[in-house]
Amino acid sequence: MRTITTGDMMHVHGGFGAGVDYTVRLTVRLADPVDAQMLQDALAKTQHRYPYLNVRMKKGEGAFYYVDNPLPIVLLHGDDRVNLGTDAVNGHLWAISYMDDRLHLDCYHGITDGTGMYRVLATLLYYYCAARYGVTDPEGADLETDVIPAAETTDPQDLLPLLDPSAIPAAHFDPAFTLETDGGLTPSAPTIWDIEVPEDAFMRFTTENDSTPGTMVSLLMAHAIDSLYPNRTKEIISAYVINARPMLDAAKTYHNCLGMAIFDYSARIKGMPMQRQCTIYRGKTFVQSFDPVVKDTTIASASSIKAIAAAAHTVEEKKQVFGQMFNGGEGLISFLVSYTGKWKHQETGNYMREFWLHPPNTFSLMVELGAAGGKIFMSIQQRFREDTVREAFLRQLEAHDIPYRICHKAGSDIAHFVEASVTKE
């Protein structure tokens, strides 16, 4: 039996409490059609490397928890949405599928975050590309022969000092401009546009303006929304996901380890030149990702989570309270941007023609960024019907002479993972 750790507690119980499929799909389009046998062999080695991800979820009276699952990770043929936790995938919380030249990794976000998922994908692609293309340099990818250090399985938030929750000041956020309510857009099921941009053109533009890919996309999306709603009474406020591992001295942990930087696109910032706006956004990132700031924020958050989990004695109580926390950004965030970073493994990156990350449906508007093979990949997911915001974002790219290609338009294809799939004690 493995208990849910502090860093994962809100993700697991909150996701079920909010009633969302809290899963992610990573998709790679490779240079050639997938060789199924080579991929099966690579998957077996990858599963062996990550024993702590080979689990089945169970539901006890007081909490969800994991048990070891010795069954093989399933390799599926097709692009269809996967049902995690079911017999179709041997009860596992991740699966691999393929179709033609496309490879998908579907993973439950409650067990790990984007950084953890990238590691699994890096291992899988190394073993596959070694067999398919003769790649010899793992370039830091985890291998099945590794001795797994304790730091990899330890949740750093379990080890943080405990504060008295009554002494933690309540965070204050001003209401943000929201697209469905304030913007009058029509709520709908999530849809995604996958947009490819040449890395050299985009990075030249960001560098010239003292920016980074994540902060630049945050600013361009704020410009796009502002162009559609210039006379709003609320500010555009965005969230930018931060990997908190370096700040907590926990680079190897597989557990969810995230923070956020908040950007307000105020009238004062709007009136500044583009480069100055970028400098301010970048400065906001530095300030909010400063090691002591992130550590103090995480200590407070972890202390609250531990106190809530201890006070909520049943699963239903935990789902209710963490579900409210899970939806805490409603009305406070206009959109979210996440960038896990450039693909670090150059040899396997040479065979990646496309690389997409499709997120859970947890915010009204989200932009997920990836970079590999000399390209930037942007997946813009929204849960409203009109395409005006995405089109306005593309006009921002055009205005700054950044070429782009819309590769796909579709509904969300992330895996289903519902509470009904979880085995009760």
What is the pLDDT averaged over residues 353-375?
96
Task: Give the predicted TM-score (pTM) of the model.
Answer: 0.96
- pLDDT 10s digits, 400-415: 999 999 999 999 999 9
Q: Which residues pair with 242 in a beta bridge?
A: 259
Tokens found for residue 48: 């062996």
φ and ψ at 408, to 5 degrees? -150, 145
Average pLDDT over all residues of the chain: 95
What is the pLDDT averaged over residues 385-396?
98
Cα 190–Cα 192–Cα 196 angle in degrees, nearest 5: 165
Percentages (nearest 5) of helix, strand, coil residues in the chain:
40, 25, 35
- Where does the pLDDT of residue 171 fall: very low under 50, low under 70, confident under 90, or very high at 90 and above? confident
Q: CA 173: distance to chain centroid?
A: 23
Alpha helix (H) residue ranges in 19-76: 36-49
Q: CA 8: distance to chain centroid?
A: 14
- pLDDT 10s digits, 245-287: 999 999 999 999 999 999 999 999 999 999 999 999 999 999 9
Burial of 41 (0-12, 13-18, 19+ CB in 10 A): middle
Alpha carbon distance 286, 328 (integer Å):
24
- Where does the pLDDT of residue 164 fall: very low under 50, low under 70, confident under 90, or very high at 90 and above? confident
Q: What is the pLDDT of residue 424?
A: 85
Confidence check: pLDDT of 173 > 90: no
Alpha helix (H) residue ranges in 69-212: 114-133, 150-153, 199-208
Look at residues 350, 391, 346 and name the one whose alpha carbon lies nearest to residue 224: 391
